[in-house]
Amino acid sequence: MIFVRKAFDFIGKHAALIIPMFILSLVPQALAFWITGSFPSDVLTRLQTMVTDYFSSPNVGTAADAIIGALSKMITDNFPNFGTMIGILLISTLVLRIFIVPGVYASITRGLSDEPLSVRSAAPLFVRDMKKYVIYLVCLALYWFFWAFCAAMIFLFAFTFSFILQSAFAVLITLAVIFIIACVIYLNLVIVLWYPAMSLEELGVEAALRKGIKVARRFMPLILLTYAVSYGLYLLIMFGFASITSSTTGLEIASVILSVLMTFFLMVFQMILYKTYVDIEKTAYAKMIAEEEAEKAAKAEKEKNTPPE
């Protein structure tokens, strides 16, 4: 796992780059808590409880009706706080991402190129690529909108047939959910190198998407393994924390710290993986050019030494 080792070596040298990622994670949640008095995880906990009740219920049809009713009641009863929280999280996260994420990617690119990376040299990078990143976010939103529409059609198809075949309600819905989750995981992994291609090679959105997918497919087993291990360790550590303490605040802090560290590690891993492919590509191209030049030189030498007829 040379890529993982290189990622840890880079993080050890440039650990200060994690600070902006902590800002990106903490500020939206702090604003949401300050204004609404609730953490976003409170809503997620209630949603998790509903899903657990759904799958543990012996009568799935009745459970589905109960969950829809409970979800509607939760939204209705908590609409002001719920809407405010969602708005704060979306707006603040989006604004901070535009300022922070492209700068972190650009700083990683600079660090991987062995150029000196300091606060003074990295600061301009947090402004340089904002326009490029906004374009990327718009295209990313369109990408997921298209696949979300496809997922909605699949789920609607399964839901319609589940009413026709009452006995297969749970089976069809569960299979549809599993299929959609598997597709989302693959579609997410296949584009993890989209923005790294834009950042490292200064490619346009379409060219970066095509090349990012090409590289991701080549390294898909490694990418899948790295992401699976990263998220598995995250869940395992969080489970350990939950078994030790029941403090909600402690779990919130642990979750933020671990998620930021994992996100930054995966960003560095993406850039190292893509840069390695680019370096291999450049080396292969340089070798091909050198062989062509050597062939031309040999041909010219042969023609020079051949006596005229």
Spatial distance between the Cα atoms of 181 and 161, rounded to a whole number of angstroms = 20
Residue 178 counted as domain residue = yes
Q: Which of 17, 34, 36, 14 is nearest to 26 (CA)?
A: 34
Residue 151 counted as domain residue = yes
Residue 162 counted as domain residue = yes
Residue 248 counted as domain residue = yes
Residue 308 counted as domain residue = no
Asked if 226 contacts 4 with a C-beta cutoff of 8 angstroms, the reply is yes
Q: Which of 272, 269, 262, 270 is nearest to 18 (CA)?
A: 262
DSSP secondary structure, 92-112, as one string: HHHHHHHHHHHHHHHHHHHHH
Q: Which of 128, 116, 117, 113 is nearest to 16 (CA)?
A: 117
Q: First-to-last CA distance in the chain? A: 61
Residue 309 counted as domain residue = no
Range of the domain at 66: 2-301
Full pLDDT tens readout for the chain, 309 residues: 788 888 888 888 888 889 988 988 888 877 777 776 665 555 555 555 555 555 555 554 555 555 556 556 655 555 556 667 777 778 888 888 898 999 999 999 888 887 777 777 777 888 888 889 999 999 999 999 999 898 888 777 777 776 666 556 667 677 777 888 898 999 999 999 999 999 888 888 999 999 999 999 999 999 999 999 999 998 888 888 777 776 666 777 788 888 899 999 999 999 999 998 888 877 776 676 766 666 766 666 666 666 655
Q: Which pLDDT does position 140 carry in this prediction?
A: 93
Q: Which of 107, 41, 99 is nearest to 247 (CA)?
A: 41
Structure tokens at 210: 């095509």
Asked if 138 contacts 194 with a C-beta cutoff of 8 angstroms, the reply is no
Spatial distance between the Cα atoms of 59 and 142, rounded to a whole number of angstroms = 38
> Which of the 8 DSSP states describes residue 193?
T
Residue 307 counted as domain residue = no
Residue 144 counted as domain residue = yes
Structure tokens at 257: 């710290």
Asked if 29 contacts 88 with a C-beta cutoff of 8 angstroms, the reply is no
- Phi first, then psi: give them for residue 51, nearest 5 degrees: -65, -40
Q: Which of 228, 234, 215 is nearest to 280 (CA)?
A: 215
| Domains contained in the chain, number | 1
Total-model pTM: 0.77
Q: Which of 182, 184, 213, 185 is nearest to 277 (CA)?
A: 213
